[in-house]
A and B are shown apart, each in its own frame.
Chain A
């Protein structure tokens, strides 16, 4: 089963929940960090990384000997990634979506596709937990191919947890789209509620079952709870604010290390989700 952990708003506790779940259950576990812009799971899990692979995208390369500067490639590019002036072709690879249209329509076969590195995936282990994270190289714009490379490592015979990026756009959608269940982590503030509603809309559109964890549940108001009750959304767990938890988090310690009572809670949470998903 694949369980994704997402949030809409950043900093609500996705990584805390993902790491806690992975450390609290007795199954063969895979923990994936698909927040490839800012991956944080490894700070808490401290895995040994034993394999690194580059992630490439295909970008066009022009053979100027064959190019007639007709401008066809530029006119078929939907992403404005190619500019042609007599004598030269400028390719803005950071805008390229690797669709292949330029190559396909070049009348003189002057365009070939070459690999461009945009990031890496790292594969490792912490005790019995398999760990995979993606990292977007700084300066690169497109996280999706790296998220897909992370998801290619999913082992369907294991229990997979995916720590998704914040937001509700393509990175988040790609991270959660194949999940059997999604946990939305929020906080009881107007910011948390606003972004929770946006993520709920996404999950309904994607037809993914989900429930909510309210973190720092005693700081703020009860509007998130009211919303969940009204929409019939299951509140899976509430984690009260504690300065001690915040301090332990600041040092990169997994929640259940300093607060072992949470191990049982996350184990129960997992069993409840498993039962829910049949």
Chain B
């Protein structure tokens, strides 16, 4: 079975995608997943060639047929989301698609229409097969789409007998993060030496512990504040979490993003060994 390595951070902008892409360049025999489906960025570094595009419907939306509606108000009175207005129009953002209204309408005036919630893709990249997605504008059900791309990647990994599934995770600790973390074999938390970075990373640590998942830390831009870097290391030590890498603040990383490359493919980036070393520390935990 391929091992799932999920890269998360809590706080956004700490370097998840750059580090995920680096691991994609280093790891052999892997499938790549972007599980940040509402602000996906990994494709910008992997230059994917699309092979398959699939529609994703994350749920339903109630539609009231004005010709059949007898204005009885039953739907509106029973909707727990205040999604039906005085003119019996359903607010598409408030509607959760539960279908209660459609079931109780005495005149069958309400249909539940499948939502067009986004798309998911299978692509080829020079670093391997890439499963990714794009959530529709202002759509919800992010967690379902995250689970779906992970599920598809696992199917391919099983078929192709891959060793690794590398998952670039979403920020936060809510449904997309939970969906990204579930069934993972190792959670890599990318943090930065700022009070907000540490605060947010701690919440992801709690989340990973809640699901009893093994954890590693990478401290990105560690030289921005050496005192807080020290604090993060102490925190990890006290919680028996291994720090597998520390990366300097480095403007060549921004250049590699602009060039659409992973840092491992960038000539300007000089600290490739740090990433190789970090990846080896991840793989070693499975060899022992």
Chain A residues in the interface with B (C-beta under 8 A): 7-12, 15, 36-38, 40, 43, 58, 76, 78-79, 97-101, 104-105, 136, 138-143, 165-173, 177, 189-191, 194-195, 198, 201-202, 205-206, 219-221, 243, 246-247, 249-252
B194 contacts A by Cβ under 8 Å? yes
List residues of chain B with CB within 8 A of the CB of A12.
Answer: 12-13
Please determine whether A99 and B17 come into contact, CB atoms closer than 8 angstroms: no
Please determine whether B138 and A76 come into contact, CB atoms closer than 8 angstroms: no
Q: How far is the CA of A76 from the CA of B104 in the complex (A)?
A: 11
Chain A residue with minimal CB distance to B206?
Answer: A138
Pull 16 A–B residue pairs with CB atoms less than 8 Å apart, ordered by A: A10-B39, A15-B196, A78-B96, A100-B78, A136-B174, A140-B174, A141-B174, A168-B137, A173-B138, A190-B260, A191-B44, A191-B257, A243-B224, A246-B249, A247-B225, A251-B194
Please determine whether A167 and B171 come into contact, CB atoms closer than 8 angstroms: yes
CB distance from A58 to the nearest CB of B (A): 8
Please determine whether B172 and A38 come into contact, CB atoms closer than 8 angstroms: yes
Please determine whether B171 and A10 come into contact, CB atoms closer than 8 angstroms: yes
Please determine whether A219 and B38 come into contact, CB atoms closer than 8 angstroms: no
Please determine whether B39 and A9 come into contact, CB atoms closer than 8 angstroms: yes
B49 contacts A by Cβ under 8 Å? no
List residues of chain A with CB within 8 A of the CB of B73.
Answer: none
Of B98, B199, B207, the residue contacting A101 (CB under 8 A) is: B98
Please determine whether B170 and A167 come into contact, CB atoms closer than 8 angstroms: yes
CB distance from A44 to the nearest CB of B (A): 8
Of B14, B177, B210, B258, the residue contacting A220 (CB under 8 A) is: B258
Please determine whether B103 and A101 come into contact, CB atoms closer than 8 angstroms: yes
CB distance from B108 to the nearest CB of A (A): 16
Chain A residue with minimal CB distance to B117?
Answer: A169
List residues of chain A with CB within 8 A of the CB of B224.
Answer: 243, 246-247, 250
CB distance from A38 to the nearest CB of B (A): 4
B11 contacts A by Cβ under 8 Å? yes
B254 contacts A by Cβ under 8 Å? yes
Please determine whether A43 and B199 come into contact, CB atoms closer than 8 angstroms: yes
CB distance from A246 to the nearest CB of B (A): 5
Known: A10-B11, A190-B260, A220-B258. A251 touches B225 (CB 8 A): yes
List residues of chain A with CB within 8 A of the CB of B199.
Answer: 38, 40, 43
Q: How far is the CA of A104 from the CA of B207 in the complex (A)?
A: 34
List residues of chain A with CB within 8 A of the CB of B17.
Answer: 191
Please determine whether A167 and B39 come into contact, CB atoms closer than 8 angstroms: yes
List residues of chain B with CB within 8 A of the CB of A140.
Answer: 174
Q: How far is the CA of A78 from the CA of B102 in the complex (A)?
A: 12
- Residue interface mask B136-160, A partner, CB < 8 A = 1: 0111101100000000000000000
CB distance from A210 to the nearest CB of B (A): 14
Most A CB atoms within 10 A — which of B10, B12, B224, B249? B12
Please determine whether A195 and B41 come into contact, CB atoms closer than 8 angstroms: yes
Q: How far is the CA of A104 from the CA of B97 in the complex (A)?
A: 16
Of B100, B135, B206, the residue contacting A169 (CB under 8 A) is: B135
Of A79, A138, A189, the residue contacting B207 (CB under 8 A) is: A138
Please determine whether B193 and A250 come into contact, CB atoms closer than 8 angstroms: yes
Please determine whether A78 and B173 come into contact, CB atoms closer than 8 angstroms: no
Most B CB atoms within 10 A — which of A9, A98, A143, A167? A167
CB distance from A103 to the nearest CB of B (A): 10
List residues of chain B with CB within 8 A of the CB of A167.
Answer: 38-39, 142, 170-172, 176
Of A105, A141, A194, A250, the residue contacting B228 (CB under 8 A) is: A250
List residues of chain A with CB within 8 A of the CB of B195.
Answer: 43, 250-252
Please determine whether A250 and B225 come into contact, CB atoms closer than 8 angstroms: yes
Seed contacts A100-B78, A250-B193; 20 additional CB < 8 Å A-B pairs: A9-B12, A15-B196, A38-B171, A40-B200, A43-B196, A76-B100, A78-B98, A141-B174, A142-B174, A167-B176, A168-B138, A171-B172, A189-B258, A194-B41, A198-B38, A202-B137, A206-B138, A220-B258, A251-B194, A252-B194
List residues of chain A with CB within 8 A of the CB of B174.
Answer: 36-37, 136, 140-143, 171
Please determine whether A138 and B39 come into contact, CB atoms closer than 8 angstroms: no
List residues of chain A with CB within 8 A of the CB of B139.
Answer: 169
CB distance from B175 to the nearest CB of A (A): 4
List residues of chain B with CB within 8 A of the CB of A165.
Answer: 172
